[in-house]
Chain A
Amino acid sequence: MLHNKSFVKKTRAGRVMKQVREHYLRDDIFCGAPFCKVCDTSGARLSASPSTILVLDTNVVLHQIDLLENLAIDDAVVLSIVLEEVKNKNLSVYNRIRAICSNSKRNFFVFSNEYHRDTYIKEMTGETKNDRNDRAIRVATQWYQNHLGSGVKVLLITNDKENKRKANEEGIHAETVETYVKSLDRPDLLDLLVRPSEDVDMEEVEDLRPSKRKVIYIEHKPMSEITSGLHRGIYHQGKLRVNRYNPFEAYVGSESIGDQIIIYGRSNMNRAFDGDIVAVELLPQDQWQEEKSLSIACGDEDEDEDVHLAPNSADDAPRTIPQQGSSGEINAVSSRPSGRIVGIIKRNWHSYCGSLEPMPMPAGSGGIVHALFVSKDRRFPKIRIQTRQLENLLDKRIVVAVDSWDRQSRYPSGHYVRTIGEIGDRDTESEVVLIENDINSRPFSSQVLACLPPLPWTVSSEDLSNPIRQDLRNVRVFSVDPPGCKDIDDALHCTALPNGNFEVGVHIADVTNFVHPGTPLDDEAAQRGTSVYLVERRIDMLPKPLTEDICSLRSDVERLAFSVIWEMTPEADVVSSRFTKSVIKSSAAMSYVEAQARMDDSRLMDPLTTDLRNMNSLAKKMRLRRIERGALTLASAEVKFQIDTETHDPLDIGMYQIREANQMVEEFMLAANVSVAQQILKSFPLCSLLRRHPTPTKEMLEPLLRTAAAIGLHLDVSTSKAMADSLDQAVGDDPYFNKLIRILATRCMSQAVYFCSGELSPPEYHHYGLAAPIYTHFTSPIRRYADVIVHRLLAASLGIFKLPSIFQDRGQLTSVSDNLNYRHRNAQMAGRASVELHTLIYFRKRPTDTEARIVKIRSNGFFVFVPKYGIEGPVYLTTRSEKGGGEWYIDEQQQKIKKIDGSISYSILQTVQIHLEVVEPQPNRPKLQLSLI
């Protein structure tokens, strides 16, 4: 049956065009009920004998998605017209409802009513699109009722009064969400409901905040005004970025003025959330605010700086606003433009993790209670929610979604989504860390697991006879990894050649032999992007059998590998290099400690140790050469926990020790990565996945230079070589000084990122930290998806395999690399958050005195870095009440804080003794506190 849709459409040029589209109406769309006698039931999704089948209206899907995600709602029919409307209005809700519909555990059925012969309706003259769609929903509901007969009740769930009225008139069962949920007799579900704004009882709000019944925020400008304002240059558009460490300070990167606009305070932020696309109006220049960050805690609420892990790069660190140099002091007014938000172009609301602000149980418990929710991520404001289960939620970590924020309320209102667990519980907090960083820790689906080769897996004769695969089983290959490492993705060999040269090979697990493009396994890995290492657990990118067995290059088993093999002179000059797929049999899987011990033990003369020593001497030469080229030796304050195997509680904590063996392995991995990068870029100049590390700008290095200047150290940062040299010369009186400077330098730099070679020009490919013109990741395909891509590129460049289609689409490759950067960053953030969490758990039982270094001076105290535990936090010299008290004054030039009477002064990088202790200022809110001894 054929039907033509015709509609009029306005083109971008403003002309009016009539469009005619075919619309085929079918008779082979089935109702999805397994008990239906007429329809083909092979694709049926509804349960076998439901008492009620729900048909959801668009507004229900759009607003009550959290409710729908609850398992209590089932046997629902989602009409295609509803999906279409939802998709046009809110893509993220659309994706969520799609996920529910495809979940085999849920009985949600998508009925393509728009293509069904009996349920398609034509728009009537004078009928609006909305009315037509509502009618379509009613017609489909009616059809369902008629189709399935009276044995089943078909219930239309709608929150549209008009729609409900009409449905009742037409003899269709229709109810609002609330009445339906109430009929289920599940009070916990009621919390999931989003109340339409007009339903909010104003009196209640009045009761709760009698004094606040006034307009707090200025009104958002209408969209038309914003558009014209943007057009005329009065407003500026950009994404709002809230300072991770100070939620009252936010930035809008604006292309129109080429600078970041600072937004101070909640009222200027005007209800915008982090990540929203906003329109900003610049404030008059005299209102541009002075630096506020000179004191540690600021803002109009009692929130303050926490102790946290020492940042590893500029991206992690609190935003430091480059101060005007001494020349700029004349101008008292800050030249940074400040602004306020006049409108929100696109909301970035999602759900947030956190807990409820402690509050007494109200008298009439069991009723509806308003509570304030505090997000764990401080960038987000508190959220007001209604709940009927306050007593259950008070000591829980919960997830909350935002619904609205109107001008009269200080905080946005939202609704409860789900509970994660008890606050402070390690599992709960780990879960929070994962959720906050958008890490998928769900077990792999059966489709993904179906892609695995049958277990137990061994190298087959086909693999061995495959001409593309070289048999290297007779070569003495070994691996060196951290102790307890199960996902061994790299192994090495080093053989002396008769001509005095060495053949050095780097063998990387051949993951792409098992992960084929386009399979669910590949899609899942691409989505996860990387394995995530938390203190107590690892979230794998690939399923465990691959990660720990099939791909892992364990000792004494034959494994498939992708090898980079060089011939090197004893001076570590590369004579030739080649790449091949191979079969290897590792002779030893050593830990760094073991390898180091072998090398150091001069009595050992076995072949393996000789290989190790040869490699080490080559590595040292390569390293030297790299440093000569200007590679920076950067340092991070990584810490290592010793975890109790039973309780998973941290037993000890200490800095990560780097041995020669580590450096040796690292050196060859770097070399392999560079070789591979050259090879793939040569073959695919436009679609290679590379990794770049941008050269830090002057502004970024400013804090480092200021600190260095204060202690009389001159750093030349003109080139990476100069920087490396001056870092080498920065040797203080104590052994830790140099490392401290390096740590400070490291945190000034931004992180390296993946990119698609077609997106940038070759000079921009540069990797600053490694001083390499091009670089990529090849050596860890088990735990990084980027390496999987690079493996495929390399295989394609060798002509072994054809290039998967994704590489032909530069846009797609860019989105893949963006995802990888995002996942990589999130994985790092999650790792750090996990360490922070465990640090807290560790110190909960062990108040400690230790040595710390001052790294930042503020007007009421300073920040210290604790090298031993890798943490950083504020030390207050004054109590909170006398903020910015007069007793202390700050010497900007010398970076010192002095007591007025001159008796005590603290200068930057000075060593101080501090006391570490976990305090609980509020119940269930433990935090680490540092105080000066």
Chain B
Amino acid sequence: MEYVSPEGLRLDGRRPMEMRQIRAEIGAVSKADGSAVFEMGNTKVIAAVYGPRQVQNKSQQMSDQALVRCEYSMANFSTGDRMRKPKGDRRSTEISLVIRQTMEACILTHLMPHSQIDIFVQVLQADGGTRSACINAATLALADAGIPMRDLVTSCSAGYLNSTPLLDLNYVEDSAGGADVTLGILPKLDKVTLLQMDSKLPIDILENVMQLAIEGCKAVANYIREILLENTKQLEYRRGV
């Protein structure tokens, strides 16, 4: 299968180094402390953050830091075939864990002892790169909830098909069976908080692909920053003191 034409165009008309269109919206869930919708092309994810709030299960309460919980789910209508998506299956458990760990790494949990933060992410439309979209949405929702963070976490995937590193794989490219690297970085600190890969890649190619993913993460970070700044300004001027 030809995923990159000799003219250098991918199946959906992007070039190998191009991301899909990204769009973000803050404040999609009115009852939540913080919420956001994040879209990468046709992948659309909604995230809601509750907290920091009283720990529900006392035994989990920690006196030195906040408890971070995360729940990932996929809407029944998120994929082409409408299926009941069972909760707590292996995949969503794994992604929940991945998102929780990634977010926990950037939340200043020690500032909020005895409390818990709940992150709910749900995939509304799945077209590849849901993990990345979830992380980006969660970052926005956390920032919206006014939870202190070390840095924004942004994520982007990259793959390697037809001997070409490709940024931000969509579903078709994702299911091509090539390597798929999902990367999460702290752009300001310049640190990697998440690195996952399906399949194998030689180490030098992995470096190229990772570099591409980092570029992608940085682009997402810039966009998220803009959105957040715009949101902050708007909140401030609308409040008007």
Is any CB of A less than 8 Å from a CB of B in the complex?
yes
Chain A residues in the interface with B (C-beta under 8 A): 2, 4, 11, 15, 17-26, 80, 83, 87, 98, 101-102, 110, 112, 114-115, 518, 802, 804-805, 808
Give per-residue flags for B1-19: 1 if the beta carbon is below 8 A from chain A beta carbons, else 0. 0100111010111100000
Beta-carbon contact of B202 and A11 below 8 Å: no
Select one of A15, A24, A805 contacting B201, CB under 8 A: A805
B189 in the interface, Cβ–Cβ < 8 Å?
no
Provide a sorted-by-A list of 18 A–B residue pairs whose CB atoms are within 8 angstroms. Answer: A21-B11, A21-B12, A21-B42, A21-B170, A21-B172, A22-B13, A22-B42, A22-B127, A23-B12, A23-B13, A80-B5, A101-B6, A102-B6, A112-B13, A805-B200, A805-B201, A805-B202, A808-B200
Select one of B5, B6, B20, B202 contacting A22, CB under 8 A: B20
Beta-carbon contact of B42 and A4 below 8 Å: yes
Distance in angstroms from B20 CB to nearest chain A CB is: 7
Interface size on B, residues (CB 8 A): 24
B113 in the interface, Cβ–Cβ < 8 Å?
no
- CB nearest to B199 among chain A residues: A808
A residues near B200, Cβ cutoff 8 Å? 805, 808
A residues near B42, Cβ cutoff 8 Å? 4, 20-22
> Which of B9, B11, B20, B127 has the most CB atoms of chain A within a 10 A radius of its CB?
B9
Beta-carbon contact of A22 and B163 below 8 Å: no
Are A110 and B80 CB-contacts (below 8 A) given A21-B12, A24-B13? no
> Which of B7, B9, B14, B202 has the most CB atoms of chain A within a 10 A radius of its CB?
B7
B residues near A112, Cβ cutoff 8 Å? 5, 7, 9, 13
A residues near B56, Cβ cutoff 8 Å? none
A residues near B20, Cβ cutoff 8 Å? 22
B196 in the interface, Cβ–Cβ < 8 Å?
no
| Majority DSSP secondary structure for residues of B touching A | loop
Shortest 5 CB-CB contacts between residues of A and residues of B: A24-B13, A115-B13, A17-B80, A22-B12, A805-B202
B residues near A26, Cβ cutoff 8 Å? 13
A residues near B170, Cβ cutoff 8 Å? 21-22
Are A2 and B6 CB-contacts (below 8 A) given A22-B12, A802-B203? no
A residues near B197, Cβ cutoff 8 Å? none
Select one of A11, A25, A80, A805 contacting B81, CB under 8 A: A11
| Majority DSSP secondary structure for residues of A touching B | mixed
> Which of B2, B6, B200, B202 has the most CB atoms of chain A within a 10 A radius of its CB?
B202
C-alpha spacing A114/B81, complex, angstroms: 27
Beta-carbon contact of B202 and A804 below 8 Å: yes
A residues near B203, Cβ cutoff 8 Å? 802
Beta-carbon contact of B202 and A802 below 8 Å: yes
B residues near A11, Cβ cutoff 8 Å? 81
- CB nearest to A98 among chain B residues: B6
B residues near A2, Cβ cutoff 8 Å? 21
Distance in angstroms from B134 CB to nearest chain A CB is: 19
C-alpha spacing A808/B205, complex, angstroms: 14
- CB nearest to A32 among chain B residues: B7
> Which of A17, A80, A114, A115 has the most CB atoms of chain B within a 10 A radius of its CB?
A115
Beta-carbon contact of B13 and A110 below 8 Å: no
Beta-carbon contact of A110 and B81 below 8 Å: no
B residues near A808, Cβ cutoff 8 Å? 200
Are A80 and B201 CB-contacts (below 8 A) given A17-B81, A24-B12? no
B residues near A15, Cβ cutoff 8 Å? 81
Beta-carbon contact of B5 and A19 below 8 Å: no
C-alpha spacing A19/B126, complex, angstroms: 11
Give per-residue flags for B67-88: 1 if the beta carbon is below 8 A from chain A beta carbons, else 0. 0000000000000110000000
C-alpha spacing A802/B205, complex, angstroms: 12
C-alpha spacing A814/B176, complex, angstroms: 19
Beta-carbon contact of B172 and A18 below 8 Å: no
Select one of A20, A114, A804 contacting B13, CB under 8 A: A114
Are A115 and B9 CB-contacts (below 8 A) given A21-B172, A22-B127, A805-B205? yes
B residues near A110, Cβ cutoff 8 Å? 5-7
C-alpha spacing A87/B6, complex, angstroms: 14
A residues near B41, Cβ cutoff 8 Å? 22
- CB nearest to A21 among chain B residues: B12
- CB nearest to B42 among chain A residues: A22
B residues near A21, Cβ cutoff 8 Å? 11-12, 42, 170, 172
Distance in angstroms from B77 CB to nearest chain A CB is: 11
C-alpha spacing A29/B173, complex, angstroms: 22
C-alpha spacing A200/B205, complex, angstroms: 55
C-alpha spacing A110/B13, complex, angstroms: 14
Beta-carbon contact of A80 and B80 below 8 Å: no
Distance in angstroms from B202 CB to nearest chain A CB is: 5
- CB nearest to A19 among chain B residues: B80
- CB nearest to B163 among chain A residues: A518
Given A24-B13, A802-B202, 8 additional A-B pairs, CB 8 A: A2-B21, A21-B170, A22-B20, A22-B170, A25-B13, A102-B6, A110-B5, A110-B7
A residues near B7, Cβ cutoff 8 Å? 80, 110, 112
C-alpha spacing A4/B201, complex, angstroms: 32
Distance in angstroms from A799 CB to nearest chain B CB is: 14
C-alpha spacing A615/B91, complex, angstroms: 63
C-alpha spacing A114/B205, complex, angstroms: 31
- CB nearest to B11 among chain A residues: A21
- CB nearest to A805 among chain B residues: B202
A residues near B205, Cβ cutoff 8 Å? 805
B residues near A114, Cβ cutoff 8 Å? 13
- CB nearest to B18 among chain A residues: A24
B residues near A102, Cβ cutoff 8 Å? 6
C-alpha spacing A804/B203, complex, angstroms: 10
C-alpha spacing A23/B12, complex, angstroms: 5
C-alpha spacing A816/B240, complex, angstroms: 71
C-alpha spacing A26/B21, complex, angstroms: 13
Distance in angstroms from B200 CB to nearest chain A CB is: 5
C-alpha spacing A19/B12, complex, angstroms: 13
